[in-house]
Structure 1
Amino acid sequence: MTDSRTAGKHGPRPDDHVVVLFGATGDLAKRKLLPGLFHLARAGLLPDRYRIVGSAPADAALGTDGFREHAREAVAAFGRSKPEGPAWQEFEATLSFGAADPGAYDPLLTAVRDAEHAIGGNPRRLFHLAVPPKAFPSVVGELGATGLAEGGRLIVEKPFGTDLASARALDETIHGVFDEDRVFRIDHFLGKESVDNIIALRFANGFFEPVWNRDHISHVQIDVPEKLTIEGRAGFFEGTGTFRDMIVTHLFQILGFVAMEPPAALDARSLRAEKDKVFQSMRPLDPAHVVRGQYAAYRDEPGVDPHSDTETFAALRVDIDNWRWAGVPFYLRSGKALAQGRHLVTLGFREPPLRMFPTDSRDAAGGRHNALVIDFDDPGRITARFLAKEPGPEMRLGEARMTFAYTDCFNTAHALEGYERLILDAMLGDQSLFTSADGIERLWEASSPLLQNPPPVQSYASGSWGPDSIHQLIHPYAWYLPDESR
């Protein structure tokens, strides 16, 4: 058996594994999981011996041959490498299928046992729940009842509940079968290279960490606008909304990495402990500091209630009561049908105590001169914005910038996408980039005032930056986006 610490071509190699994909015929498996597993195989990062067992309800009428064809079509449509040649033939041979319905897990049991027999020894099991949340209790219960869960690990997809009560109920269900150290709540945002780079930027560079605090930073923005609409997903979105879908699951997690204290070590226990301390320090959300929006055509979408109050946009202020961040507001924004699709963290720096230089109207309006901007979209970049003297006889200041771009400095040919990185980490048993039960429950607890008393949604035009009231929310600062000079 390969030791999990043994280095592969580009990093550590996991122990031998049987990976079981529940929801193997669904959209997530088609777009991300199957192409991602093939890319990991081509990169030499999967175990020496592994098998992938797809599973879905029996009415999917899909056997092993059908699953292999489904996987080939998924990789052809969404993968970075074409499903051809010896690499594909080797990967395809690891695929099998076992149907599973409540109370009828025999086909899946047989498929898993056959896969383990083909590998030999004592391979690990990894279960990926790419199924709707309502199916979680049934699947987890069956994994426990059949004995499949014994010694295995579990990847759980969002949403991790919809409020504090449902999150606690979900955790209770999971912990009835899987210990917390075998549970991996996956958020593909945290698998991005640039999230790791936030940690490296802060803690590996002596000229950043000393100013990463309330004495030097005036405010922080975490901005994830999306151009796309709900794209026919009314059934999901009407019961979820942007706050539950994006803010709690994604943006709060990014906030945790931006605001955390230096961990004692770069291991899962230390990183998650420091991130959870940030969440414990969050003040309960004040509905008066929240803007909920809905793009004008949302209620015309198929399947949407014509009187829907579901938000497609959310912007809010978060306050963290600890010594590092007291008095520094964090502004978070995300929404559908906006002007751009971006993934940015912006740290605005305080002005010098004395201004000896002449100011213009932009300065007076809170211009965005001194900022550190982290673009955590793939492949990512970091930009420092500052003031410099413009050429000429007068002392006039102009904006300048220094930019680090991944594509300019590193070969990104073998970079892993978010899901690929996190599936690999789950196989290695590394929980560093996964959310803990305590952390997610605390976030729902802090969100309770907003969920219990949400402000009404405000209409905004598609292609805009959201409701006009977002400017009052962030005053006296300005949103980094829109940034016409980018």
Structure 2
Amino acid sequence: MASTNTTPSFTFVLFGATGDLSLRKVLPALYRAHRSDQLCDDGYIVAVARKSMDSADYHAWAREQVRPHLDMERIDEDDWERFLNRITYVALDLTRQDDFTQLRDALDGKPAARVFYLATGPALFEPVCKGLAAAGLHDGGRIVLEKPLGHDLRSSREINDTVGEIFSEQQIYRIDHYLGKEAVQNLQALRFGNALFEPLWRREWIENIQITIAEELGVEGRGDFYDQTGALRDMVQNHLLQLLAIVAMEPPHSMAADPVRDEKLRVLRSLKPIAIDEVNQLVVRGQYQSGLSGGASVPAYAREPGVAAESRTETFVALKAEINNWRWAGVPFFLRTGKRLAERVAEIVINFRPVPYALMGEASLRAGANRLVIRLQPNESMRLYCLAKQPGEGMQLQSVHLDLAFDQFFKAGSMDAYERLLLDVIHGRLALFVRRDEQEQAWRWVEPIMTGWADSARMPKLYSAGTWGPAASSALLAQHGTCWLEEEN
């Protein structure tokens, strides 16, 4: 029996259908939605790429390339074949407008509710949009744009202007997969659905907030791309600033798309600018050296394929941000991201202020005695730390915690972030996607950092692969009397 949550009829057109993003993320997410009966029977996938082959060849390619990125033990062979039967392959040169007539022919007779997913480089956004318009396919469609959308504010505006000539803002879905994570959604539920936390969610009760996205992996064969991008553009401008905005936003008047995005924009506009001459004091730029990662010896970033030998591209960023508004004035937000770090983890740490008086001993005054840790990956969870009396004589306090592990508490499995976001596109829900003014405000805030680095002759601070980054990252927090979570533990 089909789920009551199935999508309306749709045609999902996947550009770049043989690329890394498609095989690792998009197609597995669509299969999971199919497997859980989230996709209606009248839902079709049209895979578009340059490689010359037919649909049967593409199905064979998917069996070989996509299945390793799925939970193998949960694949039902008949179900997998039914999923592949949804897919039609079309070979196109995306730079040739005339070729889009072949796509129009392939879409003939399929549902007119169309999603165009651009799993391509930004250089192809313009020719794809113009090709769709020339073939008359854009009306009423929705277009999904993957990052990076430009390398600075100017290039971002150029891309948005180009796409905006063909598609209205309500048709454009700028995807940030961190916004689709279960724990991020639960952060909003925690704040706005419970009387316990919202009164505490302000400068009077919160000492500092830490947001970390750490990766064990290096550039993984993407040196040519990464050396032109770096951690600031790749992670801070989008993922980290979006998480900051969600943590710090005011309650919207509803959970509809624009009220939520309006509040995130207000946070981004309230970020205290980092002046160029403050960059070296407030921002740490690092680059990994050779070391042990995951028990194996790995090369330095500058020795990775595709990376310039004297590259100054950062693989690590830690910074202090402040929000100049009534709720958050004076509360430091510490953001951190990096490659080849000690473990793969993404988390938000809310450190509440200690009690004002040591009525029950010095432990109650310890920084971090009261803390909320929201884990986004690898396992989504929330953990609330507090102090409790140890059994026995005297008043000895000990840190204890209350856990909410989503996969253990809820019987239904957690939905993959890409699966949730792709279903939202098909349903036409914009709340979890980034609006143009949000994106451009984020670029506006990080540009002085980029300028400060470009104007400086300093090399990034080096750190060994498999560690938590350069020592300057710890020193940045020590200046404010605190430390990163793993250093305290």
TM-score, reference length from structure 1: 0.92
* Residue deviations 1:342-396 (CA, integer Å, cap 9, x gap): 1110111111222234337xx88x6432111111125411111122222333332
Alignment correspondent of 1:64? 55
Q: CA deviation at 1:404?
A: 1.2
Q: Give, as a single letter, the amino acid of the residue that structure 1 aligns with 2:442.
A: L
- Report sequence identity in percent: 38
Alignment correspondent of 1:358? 361
* Residue deviations 1:320-363 (CA, integer Å, cap 9, x gap): 11111111111000101111111110111111222234337xx8
Q: Give, as a single letter, the amino acid of the residue that structure 2 aligns with 1:382.
A: M
**Which deviates further from its counterpart, 134-143 or 85-94?**
85-94
Q: Give, as a single letter, the amino acid of the residue that structure 1 aligns with 2:211.
A: I
Distance 1:97 1:340 in 2: 39
SS at match of 1:337: coil
Q: Check the 8 A contact 1:279/1:439 in 2, yes or no.
A: yes
Alignment correspondent of 1:445? 444
Q: CA deviation at 1:66?
A: 1.2
* Residue deviations 1:298-318 (CA, integer Å, cap 9, x gap): 111122111111000000011
Q: Check the 8 A contact 2:10/2:42 in 1, yes or no.
A: yes
Q: Check the 8 A contact 1:164/1:441 in 2, yes or no.
A: yes
Identify the match of residue 152 of structure 1 among 123, 141, 149: 141
Matched, 1:142 2:131: yes
* Residue deviations 1:174-228 (CA, integer Å, cap 9, x gap): 1011101000011111111111100000011100111001110011000111111
Distance 1:102 1:207 in 2: 53
* Residue deviations 1:256-292 (CA, integer Å, cap 9, x gap): 1111110111111111111111111112234120000
SS at match of 1:169: helix
Q: Give, as a single letter, the amino acid of the residue that structure 1 aligns with 2:68.
A: A
Change (3 A) 1:38 1:102: closer
Distance 2:202 2:407 in 1: 29
Q: CA deviation at 1:8?
A: 6.4
Distance 2:468 2:354 in 1: 27
Alignment correspondent of 1:301? 304
Change (3 A) 1:474 1:103: closer
SS at match of 2:372: strand
Matched, 1:333 2:326: no
Alignment correspondent of 1:400? 400
**Which deviates further from its counterpart, 76-85 or 242-251?**
76-85
Matched, 1:167 2:156: yes
Matched, 1:411 2:417: no
Q: Give, as a single letter, the amino acid of the residue that structure 2 aligns with 1:62.
A: M
SS at match of 2:287: strand
Alignment correspondent of 1:274? 263
Q: CA deviation at 1:103?
A: 5.3
Q: CA deviation at 1:29?
A: 0.7
Q: Which runs of 5+ in 2 are unaligned?
A: 290-299
SS at match of 2:78: helix
SS at match of 2:154: helix
Alignment correspondent of 1:38? 31
Q: How does 1:44-83 map to 2 (within 5 A)?
A: 44-57=37-50, 60-80=51-71
Q: How does 1:194-233 map to 2 (within 5 A)?
A: 194-233=183-222
Q: Check the 8 A contact 1:21/1:53 in 2, yes or no.
A: yes
* Residue deviations 1:152-192 (CA, integer Å, cap 9, x gap): 10000001221111111111011011101000011111111
Q: Check the 8 A contact 2:370/2:387 in 1, yes or no.
A: yes
Q: Check the 8 A contact 1:18/1:112 in 2, yes or no.
A: no
Distance 1:48 1:89 in 2: 14
Distance 1:112 1:91 in 2: 22
Q: CA deviation at 1:403?
A: 1.1
Q: CA deviation at 1:130?
A: 0.3
Q: Check the 8 A contact 1:368/1:478 in 2, yes or no.
A: no
Q: CA deviation at 1:149?
A: 1.3
Alignment correspondent of 2:486? 481
Distance 1:76 1:102 in 2: 27
Alignment correspondent of 2:420? 421
Identify the match of residue 265 of structure 1 among 247, 254, 257: 254
Q: CA deviation at 1:116?
A: 3.8
TM-score, reference length from structure 2: 0.91
Q: Give, as a single letter, the amino acid of the residue that structure 2 aligns with 1:217.
A: I
Alignment correspondent of 2:293? none
SS at match of 1:134: helix
Q: Which runs of 5+ in 1 are unaligned?
A: 1-6
Change (3 A) 1:104 1:135: closer
**Which deviates further from its counterpart, 437-446 or 140-149?**
140-149
Distance 1:269 1:62 in 2: 42
Alignment correspondent of 2:167? 178
Q: Give, as a single letter, the amino acid of the residue that structure 1 aligns with 2:27.
A: L
Identify the match of residue 462 of structure 2 among 459, 464, 468: 459
Change (3 A) 1:410 1:10: farther
Change (3 A) 1:67 1:482: farther
Change (3 A) 1:322 1:93: same
Distance 1:109 1:98 in 2: 11
Q: Check the 8 A contact 2:104/2:135 in 1, yes or no.
A: no
Q: Check the 8 A contact 2:23/2:65 in 1, yes or no.
A: yes
Change (3 A) 1:440 1:165: same
Q: Check the 8 A contact 1:34/1:74 in 2, yes or no.
A: no
Q: Check the 8 A contact 1:265/1:271 in 2, yes or no.
A: yes
Aligned length: 468
Distance 1:37 1:146 in 2: 26
Q: CA deviation at 1:111?
A: 4.3
SS at match of 2:13: strand
Q: Check the 8 A contact 2:93/2:99 in 1, yes or no.
A: no
